[in-house]
Structure 1
Amino acid sequence: MMTNIVLGAAGKGGSGTINLEELLASRLLVQGNSGSGKSHLLRRLLEQSAGLVQQVVIDPEGDFVSLSEHFGHVAIDGASYGEAEIAALAARVREQRASVVLNLEGLEVNAQLCCAGTFLNHLFEAPRALWYPALVVVDEAQLFAPAAAGEVSDDARRISLAAMTNLMCRGRKRGLAGVIATQRLAKLAKNVAAEASNFLMGRTFLDIDMIRAADLLGMERRQAEQIRDLERGQFLALGPALSRRPELLRIGEVQSEVRGVPSFATPLPTLTDEQRQALLVRTTPVVPVPMPPVEEPEAVEQLLSRLDEASPDPEPPEQPDMLASLDNAKLADLVLADMIDDPDTDGRPAGALYQDFTLRCRMRGAIRPPLELPGFARALALARAGLFSDDLATPEMDHALRSAADAPEDMLGVFMLIARAAHAGAPCPPESEVAKVYGTCSPGRVRRMLGYMESRGLLAIHSDFRGRRTATIPRLGWTTAPEAGGGTVTDRLMQSAVED
């Protein structure tokens, strides 16, 4: 049975239709400048075919999320998941044949490419038993399949371009019908665009794009000028699913709400000059600060005379015997707290700080330090993690400390720092805090250390597409919240490239 979907009105009062079966077998390319109506066309196609075929939308701007309110599409926020979760979701989408919108609005460009590439690759790699037909709609395809390297990283571009090439070149045998929309054909990879057999060409103004669009439509180059004269919402259609000859279509209305800035003029609010001034310029009255009276400098002779007459310095007060009033643990806690507050101790190893520790203990009245060097190194690492004797006496931290019995001594503080955050459900500590606890200023050493701890089964670290890390203590079953802020995917890719 042939299923025709009405896209809008054709010339001479006819209906502009697209054959769904042919579309699933031959793919579709939509081209038009910004404001030509590409997203409106895609929305019309999705609404008219909803319920007839599974739909998967790669949405870089969050424009198609509203389909979930009217047609039951599942909106997936790509920024909330990591690579493993996105791969699992793609597998589940094919298994359940659910229509979904992958919203990439909350990600920066590199992360969008990585997330979309991962999702498309795992749609493509589904088992043969799950090769049901599905429309895969990719808006702003020039972003995911660029013709040339741009400001994105090479790794992100490679992942996304390979996924788009698989979709358009080999997706048909797996039931995946690519529908891609681009602002400029010149920016879209040629091996991706060349696989489409159906074309809907909207308004464009650059000569290079008009000539290429005319070539795809089989028009003479002197006829390419008419592409510049198309109105918003008008497209020239050609292909086995559309028309055997170029045909002008005007896209019909849609039901779901379109997100974005309205294209019509909106009247400005009516304000008086005083109201506008009050809203835009909130001035704070300047309060004059009284200046102290200027005193004449004292004569040198008078100053010297006063110094001669001055009484000798009073004797320093007697220092209390700290060991008499505090046990060794409390004294060590006080001294270690002072050292942690001193920025000069940041990044310095325990061996270089032990002499400073002994000196500070003597200044507090201790005849000898309460800790030898091995015990000091252990206590310093725990103090940098915010754990002192009272904290370690709690059952939870004592249990965590005993579970790290086989951890290397220099990594114990890092383990306890993450364990403390995981037990409290706090965000994963950032690299800067981990580096301070580890006693280093090198981000590379921190990453190698965390990798070693993962290989020993002490930690399990996971990053989502926003770069927010989450750490799990497998032995305890404790997990931190996602890292606050997080690095960008660009930063992580660049760091990996430097390390390699």
Structure 2
Amino acid sequence: MTVSVDIGTKTSGQRAAVDLEELLATRLLVQGNSGSGKSHLLRRLLEQSAPWVQQCIVDPEGDFVTLADKFGHVVIDASGTERDLALIANRVRQHRVSVVLNLESLEVDRQMRAAAAFLKGLFDAERDHWYPMLVVVDEAQLFAPAAAGDVGDEARRLSLAAMTDLMCRGRKRGLAGVIATQRLAKLAKNVAAEASNFLMGRTFLDIDMARAADLLGMDRRQAETFRNLDRGQFVALGPAMTRKPEPVKIGPVETTGRGGSPKLVPLPGQPAEDAADLIFKRQEGELLPRAAAQPVSTSDVLMQLARSRPEPTPPPEAPDLFADVEREAAIDEVMTALLAEPEAAFQSVSILYQDFLVRCRIARVPGDPPDLPTFRRRLAIARAGVEQGSMESSDWDQATLVAASLPEDIRGVFLLIARAALQKAPCPSDSEIAKAYGTRSPGRARRLLAYMEERGFLVCASDLRGNRLVMLPDLGWQTAPGAPDAVAAE
């Protein structure tokens, strides 16, 4: 069944329709300066498609929460932890509920982290829950910036990775990305390039007009037409709409946003003396202003400094060697309890670190908790199945040195294989390697082995029975043959 969504009219007077099934397969990019009507366009598309497809709106300004009253969307205020958002996103896919992720109460850095956790939760849902879903991201340049800005590198990396997964690999999981941005130049090219449908609104900057013209296959001289577009008018192109660029006027909507354009209101009429009293006269219930500070003489300042001499600090106490041992033991217990959770092997490092900090506070671990890089190293060793103190040897120290040359997220996989080789155990299966990496995908495990083999960290081979064995050239170790398709032990 083909479902056509009416978004407005063309200049010829014909109905402008969007093939919803084609849109789910080819994604959409909306671009236009502030005030060009992007939010109006997205609202029209969401309202018309609401009866046909599940929807998720990532809303940084809280403008789309009004859809809940008319169309039954559930508003999710991002006030919990990143782990909570990931779990909620998994339930959203499981129960096929349309939602609005409201981020207006968060700063930009936390908005990026919250959006990344929620999108990753949608992306990592079980295969049985890969139902079609329209994922609309307003102000996409915030979540997939083309260059580093004032936000932290970690938040930017997480958000950009989640947006890239949505646009590049989301189609096979039923996720259809619809992203809207004020400026194409500020949007990461890898994210924008995956869209096959475009709606380009009013644009004034030359660099944005040039990129819009390139995406639509228009001549650079025709790019000037984007300056003359009216509010709510867009140039459409794509397999879900039209095969050649055509102007489209967006139709009316049934709901309104909480923001909207400012409206002119007449000034209140009042005499000038009354207006002055409103500003300068203290109103009932207001606090009295502080009295003006009196000038202080130099002698008074010197006397105050003399009276406020700091007390001598006591000598530092001798370090308690037993306290460090107890602290390490307490941290190991927290790590063991954390990784004992059923879903801990498949959570991102950022979510696990937040849970780890909370558990450290509950357990009253003395001293400052380990920082994120230290936690990553501990997590890699723990996911490799290496218990504290079980591998205390020069050989294992050499293995950890070799693993330090790999990216942090892959070290646990290398150490898992190195442990098997040192103990002459069978080669870990694809599912065991995937679990050590934090995923359920055996294909990703095979790609990790290929990645490390290309860089000379290991060599994979198969025996006559089809079992896999891995050799570690830098260490001179080799695993025993193991079945690659064996099921990982819980």
TM-score range, shorter chain: 0.5 to 0.7
Question: Match of 2:104, SS?
Answer: coil
1:107 aligns with 2:106: yes
| Structure 2 CA distance for aligned equivalents of residues 53 and 286 of structure 1 | 59
> Match of 1:275?
274
> Match of 1:151?
150
> Match of 2:51?
51
> Match of 2:297?
none
CA deviation string 1:211-270 (max 9, x = no partner): 110111111111111111001100000001111111111111111121115333222222
Is the CA contact (8 Å cut-off) linking 1:113 and 1:160 kept in structure 2? yes
| C-alpha spacing 1:135/1:275, structure 2 compared with 1 (3 Å) | same
| Structure 2 CA distance for aligned equivalents of residues 286 and 156 of structure 1 | 42
- How many Å apart are 1:35 and its aligned residue? 0.6
> Match of 1:122?
121
| C-alpha spacing 1:22/1:455, structure 2 compared with 1 (3 Å) | closer
| C-alpha spacing 1:287/1:99, structure 2 compared with 1 (3 Å) | closer
> Match of 1:179?
178
- How many Å apart are 1:153 and its aligned residue? 1.0
Q: For 1:224-303, list aligned pairs within 5 A.
A: 224-282=223-281
| C-alpha spacing 1:348/1:36, structure 2 compared with 1 (3 Å) | farther
Question: Match of 1:224, SS?
Answer: helix
| Structure 1 CA distance for aligned equivalents of residues 254 and 4 of structure 2 | 19
Is the CA contact (8 Å cut-off) linking 1:457 and 1:474 kept in structure 2? no
User: Relative contact order (alpha carbons < 8 A, sep ≥ 6): 1 or 2 greater?
Assistant: 1
Is the CA contact (8 Å cut-off) linking 1:35 and 1:232 kept in structure 2? yes
| Structure 1 CA distance for aligned equivalents of residues 20 and 317 of structure 2 | 70
| Structure 2 CA distance for aligned equivalents of residues 347 and 104 of structure 1 | 48
Q: For 1:405-484, list aligned pairs within 5 A.
A: 454=334
1:166 aligns with 2:160: no
- How many Å apart are 1:127 and its aligned residue? 1.4
1:77 aligns with 2:74: no
> Match of 1:61?
61
| Structure 2 CA distance for aligned equivalents of residues 287 and 30 of structure 1 | 55
Seq. identity, %: 58
> Match of 1:401?
none
TM-score (norm 2): 0.62
Is the CA contact (8 Å cut-off) linking 2:201 and 2:232 kept in structure 1? yes
| Structure 2 CA distance for aligned equivalents of residues 347 and 161 of structure 1 | 50
| C-alpha spacing 1:237/1:287, structure 2 compared with 1 (3 Å) | closer
Question: Match of 2:158, SS?
Answer: helix
| C-alpha spacing 1:456/1:170, structure 2 compared with 1 (3 Å) | closer
Is the CA contact (8 Å cut-off) linking 2:334 and 2:360 kept in structure 1? no
TM-score (norm 1): 0.60
| C-alpha spacing 1:278/1:170, structure 2 compared with 1 (3 Å) | same
1:10 aligns with 2:10: yes
| Structure 2 CA distance for aligned equivalents of residues 348 and 253 of structure 1 | 74
Gaps of 5+ in 2: 283-287, 293-309, 339-349, 377-490
Is the CA contact (8 Å cut-off) linking 1:234 and 1:250 kept in structure 2? yes
> Match of 1:416?
none
Q: How large is the Cα RMSD of the aligned pairs?
A: 3.9
| C-alpha spacing 1:347/1:91, structure 2 compared with 1 (3 Å) | farther
- How many Å apart are 1:471 and its aligned residue? 7.2
Is the CA contact (8 Å cut-off) linking 2:334 and 2:359 kept in structure 1? no
| C-alpha spacing 1:97/1:279, structure 2 compared with 1 (3 Å) | same
Is the CA contact (8 Å cut-off) linking 2:103 and 2:111 kept in structure 1? yes
> Match of 1:220?
219
| C-alpha spacing 1:189/1:453, structure 2 compared with 1 (3 Å) | same
CA deviation string 1:86-125 (max 9, x = no partner): 1100100110111001111111111111111111112111
**How many residues end up aligned between the 2 structures?**
340
> Match of 1:359?
none
Q: What residue identity is the alignment partner of 1:224?
A: A
Question: Match of 1:270, SS?
Answer: coil
Q: What residue identity is the alignment partner of 2:167?
A: M
| Structure 2 CA distance for aligned equivalents of residues 65 and 27 of structure 1 | 23
| C-alpha spacing 1:499/1:96, structure 2 compared with 1 (3 Å) | closer
Question: Match of 2:161, SS?
Answer: helix
